[in-house]
Amino acid sequence: MGYVVTQEVSAPLRYDAVRFVFEHSDEVAQLSLLQFLDLLETGKGKDLIRSLLEARMPSGGFPSSFHRETEGIRETCRKTHLLLKCGVPWDGLSVQAAMNFLLRSQREEGGWSENPALTLPENVVELSTVEPVTWLTADVVELLRAVDLGESPSCVKALNWLRGMQSHVGGWTMYGNDSFIVDPDSTAQILFMFKEIYGEEDLAYVKGIRFFEKCLDAVAVDAERGYHVEPNGKRVENDVYHLTHLLLSSLVDTERRLQAGYDLRDERVRKIVQAILENQREDGGWRPFWTACSSPTYTVLTLKLLTWLGVLNTGELREQASKYV
């Protein structure tokens, strides 16, 4: 990549992010942090796993965050994956029921949309109930691979659909029929999954990594100057989503991106990390653009990223978290 670190990042975390998570987050964010810090055997860890298992609906799915009486594809996928990471057996009743629900929900094209029974709020632009969603399909593919269904007809069909959805510039859009707006976040998720499955000689990866590198160059520039420019020309102060969307994933592939070489030896990543540290709010959390408040979910994701990059120490975070379990 040709980038060399010329300056170390500043001393980490001005505010207590761990306290923010335990005082302000839902059970899923807390459980995700405990799993990451190897604190599942604590009383709180066991209680949170039990609570998550009990939240599963009779259909096998998990309630949508938009309507608690209706299953959400996104929530079912991500909560099931979290349960797997917490040691719940993949061939047990809870996981298999969730997988059956997801497999029943696959669209004819091969991808997944959000549950058509839901009515999404107008401000939700990242999901669709009527079109297959690329990043959501990648989420389900990750789960299928985690439960030994990576070569199943459903998974192969989904991967073939994703391959066919790559745009001519190398990236992926969020929706199946949106051929104009390439989404760097969706692209990063699918791209590094393809690399793991097919290898770095795969044509989709070769074409996609060029697009990803250009996006990373742009975010590094934004990180250094403190703002990014929207398509309408408006300057917007950086938020944690903009700074991390190329290096983070809500599911599993963050480590893949770091293993691909995007660590502090890359000056672009160093600039982004410095901006992330400066972006922390006084309550200890980080705020993505769609909310006025700090987000526990993004705070946990950011803590993971900074730890994998070596900016934060796992042992110190575990010691802080031990106060709350």
- In the chain, what are the domain boundaries? 17-324
272: helix, strand or coil: helix
Look at residues 298, 168, 282 and name the one whose alpha carbon lies nearest to residue 241. Answer: 298
Answer for the pair 132, 111: CB distance below 8 angstroms, yes or no: yes
Nearest partner of 299 among 276, 318, 274, judged by Cα:
276
Q: How many CB atoms lie within 10 A of CB 97?
A: 18
323 to each of 22, 50, 280, 287, 317, how far by Cα in Å? 10, 21, 22, 24, 11
From residue 74, give the alpha-carbon distance in Å to each of 18, 70, 139, 202: 25, 12, 8, 28
17-324 maps to CATH 3.40.50.720: no
Contacts of 201 (CB under 8 A, 6+ apart): none
Q: How many CB atoms lie within 10 A of CB 185?
A: 21
Q: How far apart, in whole angstroms, are the C-alpha atoms of residue 56 and residue 94?
A: 8
Degrees, nearest 5: CA angle 181-186-191: 115
Query: Is the Cβ–Cβ distance between 161 and 132 less than 8 Å?
Result: yes
Tokens representing 52 are 């998550």
Give the pLDDT of residue 12: 78
pLDDT recorded at residue 265: 87
Report the chain (325 residues): mean pLDDT per 10 consecutive residues.
47 90 92 96 96 96 95 96 94 94 97 96 91 95 95 98 95 77 91 93 96 96 95 92 86 63 87 96 95 93 91 94 94
Q: What angle do CA 17, 287, 308 make, to 5 degrees?
A: 50
User: What is the rounded distance in angstroms from the CA atom of residue 52 to the CA atom of residue 79?
Assistant: 8
